Copies of this chain bind each other. A is one copy, B any other.
C-alpha cells in the first residue's frame, strides 16, 4: 500500500498513554510542524482501563525534519502525556528468529513469504530442537541454524543459549513456528512482547497437548488456530489472530491435522505481518490490532 514519493521518508509511530483530551490535537500539530503528511491513523480508547492507543503512518519530505529531530519532538510529547511509544522507519526490516520442531509447514511458509518479498523481514536465525538434517528439504539461504535440543536436565542451559542467540542476533521478534517445547517462565518473561506463538486450536478451547485429538474427541464442527504473544501463562497470552475451518464427523484426527496446517500457516503469517507492520499493541492480556 506504500505510495511513498521517492524523496520522502516514511515512519510508523505507535503509542499508548492515559486517555485525556488533546492528545490527538497535540500530536497532529507536532507532526504537522515537523512537515509530516499523515497517511494512515487509527486510535482506540479502552474505556475500562482509561488508556489511549494510536498508530500513525506518515511521510516527511527529505531535507526537512530528520529522524533524530523527530524522536526529540515525540519525546517531548511522550513526557507531557506519559506516553510509551515506538517509532520506526517504514522501510525497516525487523530481524526475526524462527524456532521450530519436527513439523516444518509454518517455517517453510514464512521462509517462502520472505523469499518472494511478501514479508519484509530479515531472518537472522533458525533454532530447532531437532538436528539440521531434519530440514534437509528446506533451503535456509545461509540463515544461521542452531540445533538446541532440550531435555529436562538441559532445559535451563539450553534456554540460556537460545536467549543468547536471540539477543546476539539482534532479533526484534521470535516466532515459535510450531516449536513444541514449553518455555520456562523465565524464558517466556524474557521474550514477552517480542515472541509470537502459533497454537493449533481455537483458544481458549483445547489448550495444551494434542489439540486436534482433543477436538476430535469433543466432536466440534469447526477447528481453528490461534497466534498469540508469549507470556508467562502458557496458551493464555494476548491473542493476535485466529481463524477456523469446517470439519465433519467423518474427519479423522489425521484429517484435522491436515486441515489445521492450512489454518496455522495463514494465521501465523497474518500475526507476524501485523506485528512487523506495527499494527499490534499489547493491552494487558489482550492485543489491539489496527487492521485497515
Contacts and interface: CB of A to CB of B under 8 A. Distances in A.
Interface stretch (A87-95, A157-165, A237-245): A237-245
A32 B29 CA distance: 11
Given A242-B222, A244-B222, A249-B289, A43 B41 contact: yes
Interface in A256-292: 258, 261-262, 266, 269, 283, 285-289, 291-292
A39 B45 contact: yes
Contacts of A254: 1
A116 B105 contact: yes
A47 B239 contact: no
Interface stretch (A19-27, A77-85, A188-196): A19-27
B206 A220 contact: no
A165 to B, nearest CB: 25
B205 A44 contact: no
Nearest to A292: B250
A153 interface: no
A241 B221 contact: yes
A137 B138 CA distance: 10
A220 B204 contact: yes
A117 to B, nearest CB: 10
A99 to B, nearest CB: 19
B105 A249 contact: no
A134 interface: no
A112 B116 contact: no
Given A37-B21, A112-B108, A249-B288, A202 B219 contact: no
B220 A203 contact: yes
A32 B21 contact: yes
Interface string A11-54: 00000000001101111110110011111111111010000000
Interface of A: 1, 3, 21-22, 24-29, 31-32, 35-45, 47, 104-105, 108, 112, 115-116, 118, 137, 139, 202-206, 218-222, 224, 238-244, 246, 248-252, 254-255, 258, 261-262, 266, 269, 283, 285-289, 291-292
Chain A to chain B: the 9 pairs with minimum beta-carbon distance, closest first = A219-B286, A25-B32, A250-B292, A25-B28, A205-B205, A221-B242, A3-B47, A249-B288, A28-B28
Given A40-B45, A222-B224, A248-B291, 16 more contacts: A1-B250, A21-B37, A25-B28, A25-B31, A38-B43, A40-B43, A41-B43, A105-B112, A118-B258, A202-B222, A203-B205, A203-B220, A219-B285, A219-B286, A221-B239, A249-B283
